[in-house]
Amino acid sequence: MSDNNLKTIETAALEALAACTDSASVEKVRVSVLGKKGELTLVMRTMGQLPKEERPAFGQMVNDTRRVIENALEERLNALRAAEQAARLEAERIDVTEPAAEIAQGSLHPLTIVQEMLEDIFISLGFSVADGPEVELDHYNFELMNIPKEHPARDMQDSFYFSPNLLLRTHTSPVQARYMTTHEPPIRIICPGRVYRCDEVDATHSPVFHQMEGLVIDKGIRMSDLKGTLDEFAKRLYGPETKTRFRPSFFPFTEPSAEVDLTCAMCGGKGCRVCKGTGWIEVLGCGMVHPNVLRACGIDPEVYSGFAFGLGLDRITTIKYGISDLRLMYENDTRFLSQF
């Protein structure tokens, strides 16, 4: 093959490269000229047909042609890649001066709002906030609360057990038990948190709900101290005209025990749909800490006495905001939550 033929291949290759508009078309040119079946590769294979004395010169011409084409390939490929990157950057360019879409701001969950409000009330009354595990030992959840195994009160709380001695706590009382076993009186704490019981889901029930319990242990604590504390709490929660009503009840961990009603916040005690015409809303249970509980937690009931109370945060929240269906607070519907 003559020098003119090599020049023809080189010229055609350079013209094809000049016409390339992207890196993919450059690759096609490379394959067609320098690939295994490319024009220049086929020319190299004919070198064996030449006389020995002509082969070195012919090989040098082919290599020179290859070098020119390879340099042109690299130059064109670099230029096209730079152009492609510039085009991509331009397409992805963000105009920082353009007004951005407004970011929707979240809000506190109604349960969180009420919990923080109640915490503020009790902290101002001298209480501190205590916390404990939600996966609890039977020892703290029941036994230290004067509810031994086979006690009928356990039937009142259908529980989620992992093993015979491990369960999801059914109330926040084990937080009080843990605190009493690790702290010396005087004690004045509240214990807010999630609790769990096997229950059907409907407008007023859920297997997951929230409680806040309170505990005071000191020398000379009486039922009148309990009543005064809860009366002050009720007035701060619903207003100075709110009244409290104590009704005898039973809880294994308190004696005596009482249920506490507050005048209905919706009607002020006149009677409405929320309070079913009675003018009263049942809000919490309470009582004097049972001597067995004090004794089990290492506190001498001959020296110290105390009171405890527990209220449902979910119930307080539904009353405060007039929420008719408990499930609304657990469905994460932003249309509902954004109202708070």
In this prediction, residue 247 carries a pLDDT of 94
- With beta carbons less than 8 A apart as the criterion, state whether 329 and 201 touch: no
Instruction: Provide the sign of the torsion angle of the four alpha carbons 154, 159, 161, 167, taken in this order.
Output: negative
For 27, 76, 235, the CA distances from 24, given in Å and listed in that order, are 5, 12, 79
In this prediction, residue 302 carries a pLDDT of 95
Distance (Å, whole) CA 72 – CA 149: 89
- CA–centroid distance for 272 within its chain: 38
Closest CA to 299 of 215, 213, 180: 180
Looking up tokens 């086929």 gives 42
- CA–centroid distance for 81 within its chain: 45
- With beta carbons less than 8 A apart as the criterion, state whether 177 and 189 touch: no
- With beta carbons less than 8 A apart as the criterion, state whether 34 and 89 touch: no
Question: Is a pLDDT exceeding 70 seen at residue 155?
Answer: no
Three-state DSSP state, 263: strand
What pLDDT, in 10s, does the model give residues 227-283? 999 999 999 988 888 899 999 999 999 999 999 998 887 777 788 876 778 888 888
Question: Between these two residues, 217 and 49, which has the higher pLDDT value?
Answer: 217
- pLDDT category at 153 given cuts 50, 70, 90 is low
For residue 96, what are its two tokens?
A: 């920082």
Question: Between these two residues, 174 and 34, which has the higher pLDDT value?
Answer: 174
- With beta carbons less than 8 A apart as the criterion, state whether 197 and 170 touch: yes
Residue type, position 245, single letter: R
87-94: Cβ within 8 A, 24+ apart: none
pTM score, whole prediction: 0.67
Strand partners, 282: 261
Q: 239: burial class by Cβ within 10 Å (0-12, 13-18, 19+)?
A: exposed
Question: Is a pLDDT exceeding 80 seen at residue 222?
Answer: yes
In this prediction, residue 191 carries a pLDDT of 96
In this prediction, residue 225 carries a pLDDT of 96
Distance (Å, whole) CA 102 – CA 229: 46
150: left (phi over 0), alpha (psi -120 to 50) or beta: left
Question: Is a pLDDT exceeding 70 seen at residue 128?
Answer: yes
- pLDDT category at 3 given cuts 50, 70, 90 is low
Tell me what the mean pLDDT of segment 5-22 comes to: 79
For residue 237, what are its two tokens?
A: 């929660």
Tell me what the mean pLDDT of segment 299-304 comes to: 96
- With beta carbons less than 8 A apart as the criterion, state whether 233 and 125 touch: yes
What pLDDT, in 10s, does the model give residues 283-297? 899 999 999 999 999
Tell me what the mean pLDDT of segment 149-171 comes to: 82
The chain-wide mean pLDDT, for the chain, equals 86
In this prediction, residue 70 carries a pLDDT of 82
In this prediction, residue 91 carries a pLDDT of 84
What pLDDT, in 10s, does the model give residues 72-98? 888 888 888 888 888 888 888 887 787
Tell me what the mean pLDDT of segment 98-122 comes to: 88
Closest CA to 145 of 192, 181, 177, 186: 177
In this prediction, residue 23 carries a pLDDT of 79
Q: 159: burial class by Cβ within 10 Å (0-12, 13-18, 19+)?
A: middle
H runs (alpha helix) in the chain = 3-19, 23-34, 39-45, 55-92, 110-124, 138-141, 173-182, 223-238, 291-296, 313-321, 334-337
- pLDDT category at 156 given cuts 50, 70, 90 is low
